[in-house]
Each structure stands twice: as structure tokens, then as C-alpha cells.
Chains A and B, each alone.
Chain A
Amino acid sequence: DAGVIQSPRHEVTEMGQEVTLRCKPISGHNSLFWYRQTMMRGLELLIYFNNNVPIDDSGMPEDRFSAKMPNASFSTLKIQPSEPRDSAVYFCASSFEGALDTQYFGPGTRLTVL
């Protein structure tokens, strides 16, 4: 299996621009997680989908952030408009039925907002 696939691996953009991060979960997994990692706050759960439905989005910072999962094999995390404080590494992870002991992380997208 190819594992969780994220794209792009690196993104540099200017403040105010729209950013879209993409994730393909492991085939057969029905749960998908988006995380953000920063030096100051560590790893934070942004949103959790189960069977393509958002179950917990309490970690989404504000209205500038949105996530979608149109089908079982694809999800996007969008930031519009982006701000410098959004600079972080964004991880996607997938698992079966939300279980963390079967959860696999993608390689992450390093976002820099200038």
C-alpha cells in the first residue's frame, strides 16, 4: 500500500492567497484526520471525518479554514485567506473506525505564508 498521500509536500504563498492541501487516505480506511503541527502548540487535531462526514471540527481555528471529503479517497483542507500565523506542517492521517492504533500519518505539507 502506498500509505497516506499528501500534496503538495511544500507550499510557499503570500498572505491573503488561498491555499488548498490535499490528502488521499489509505484504501479501506473510513476515518480521516487533519492535524496541524507548530513548534509552539505541538500537534493539534483540526478535524475528523468518519465515512466522509465531519464528526468533530472543534479544532478548526476559524472561518478561514474549511475541510471537505467528497468521497472515501480524497479530502481537502482549504485556507482562505491565508495569514503568516497559518505557517505550520499540516498532516493528514487515516484509520479504520477512528481507531488511533490503526492510524497512519501522511508525510505532511509544510506551509509557509509570507
Chain B
Amino acid sequence: GQQLNQSPQSMFIQEGEDVSMNCTSSSIFNTWLWYKQDPGEGPVLLIALYKAGELTSNGRLTAQFGITRKDSFLNISASIPSDVGIYFCAGQLNSGGYQKVTFGIGTKLQVIP
């Protein structure tokens, strides 16, 4: 299936720094989602975005649905050690009532205390 272009693929940051990651696609999506995956666990949904231009926050996390519907970004402010993990974006299409989903390859985040 189609892959989203997610960047960066990995990041090393100091505790307290802000983080930004983004996803782009050649196709339009109706929904963008951001997940976090801890080692040995399944992904957990962080934020879901439903409208172009929408900006949504969840604690220290902020995500935006791009105006063109082809991109989204996730920001983490004031990073802490427990932010370590892999962050995935996902785009959802409408396909005959069933909503097909495509995942990005992931951004691996390391936080240095």
C-alpha cells in the first residue's frame, strides 16, 4: 500500500527541548492520526484530526491537519524521558464506507536526561 513520508526517522534531543515531526502524502486524507508506540507494546492513539487546518492539543502535544489535506505535524513541548518511543502518523481515506488507513514509517525519539 501507499506509504506516508514521515520525517525525521530518528531524533536525539535533550530533556526540556521541544520536538517537531511531520508527515506528507501525495494523496489527500480525510483524517490524520498520530500514535505513540512504546517498546514491546502496540501503538496508542495520541491525537486525531478531522478537518483541514485543525489544530488540536493534548497536554504537551499539539498536532495540525494541513490545509492541503496532504500533510500533518506533531509537536511535543518540554520533552521528558517518558516521551521516548516511536511516533507514527496515519492517514485515513474514505473508501466505499470502509476507511482505509496508511501509516508512516515512524519517528524514533530518544530523550537524553
Residues of A within 8 A of B (CB): 4, 42-45, 48, 50, 55-56, 58-59, 91, 93, 98-101, 103-108
Contact = CB atoms under 8 A, between A and B. Distances in A.
Interface in B37-71: 40-45, 48
A98 B48 contact: no
A46 to B, nearest CB: 11
Nearest to A56: B98
Interface residues of B, number: 22
Contact of B48 (A4, A45, A101, A108): A101
Contacts of A99: 99
B92 to A, nearest CB: 6
A23 B27 CA distance: 32
Interface of B: 1, 3, 31, 33, 40-45, 48, 88, 90, 92, 98-101, 103-106
B3 A100 contact: no
A58 B96 CA distance: 14
Contacts of A43: 43, 88, 103, 106
Contact of B90 (A4, A58, A100): A100
A100 B101 contact: yes
Contact of B42 (A45, A55, A58, A107): A107
